[in-house]
Amino acid sequence: MEATDHLRASLHAAIALANAFGSPARQGRPAVPPDAAAVDAVLRLTTNRPPVVDPGGYAGGAKTLYDALGNLPDVDRAVELVNELLRDTKAAPQLTREIGAPWHLHFGSPDDATGWLAEFATAVAMLLGSDEAARIRRCAAARCDDLFLDATRNGNQRFCSTACQNRAKVAAHRARVRSS
């Protein structure tokens, strides 16, 4: 999917927010509910403007995004969930900008959780409407349920992070040593 930098950032932020609220296990540990700082860090993936964050406003929509993306490759069910979120957030495109910055497209008010969720749902909808939906994957590491966007050229990324990749390699090595 050829996308603008802003759309790509919104898609990465959507996945990060979905993981923060929806993933039961993250990088080998039980997930903890995100606090304001964690949600703020996700929102900064798509903007440099510091938002005022109430994590509770994001929980329902983020969980819906996690459920939608976690349903892939069942695109029909994922689309159902994303369409529901688009309706709930009343996603409506509008151009906005910060002083001195270029215009960019938002799909709701960038000042509240509903606006951010509308933007993230739109980014996910654009991905689901492309031929790249299969690029959303669940981490192959044990005890990690995070989702990620495989951005590799050949489409063979298996882990959400190098931490999970390293844990998997160490576990495989230890298993080989024990069996020999």
Q: Which residue has the higher pLDDT, 170 or 99?
A: 170
Residue 26 lies inside a defined structural domain of this protein: yes
Residue 126 lies inside a defined structural domain of this protein: yes
Give dist(CA 169, CA 180) in Å, integer: 17
Assign residue 76 the CATH number of its domain.
Answer: 1.10.3300.10
Residue 28 lies inside a defined structural domain of this protein: yes
Residue 168 lies inside a defined structural domain of this protein: no
Is the pTM above the cut of 0.85? yes
Q: Looking at the DSSP assignment, which residues form a beta bridge with residue 96?
A: 104
Residue 142 lies inside a defined structural domain of this protein: no
55-83: pLDDT as tens digits? 899 999 999 999 999 999 899 999 999 99
Give dist(CA 62, CA 74) in Å, integer: 19
Residue 30 lies inside a defined structural domain of this protein: yes
Residue 40 lies inside a defined structural domain of this protein: yes
Q: How many structural domains are present in the chain?
A: 1
Statement: residue 50 has pLDDT above 80 = no
Domain that holds residue 117: 5-135
**CA separation (Å) from 69 to 3, 14, 66, 73, 94?**
19, 10, 5, 9, 25
Q: What is the DSSP string of 27-59?
A: TTEE-----HHHHHHHHTTT-SS-----THHHH
Residue 116 lies inside a defined structural domain of this protein: yes
Residue with tokens 């882990």: 159
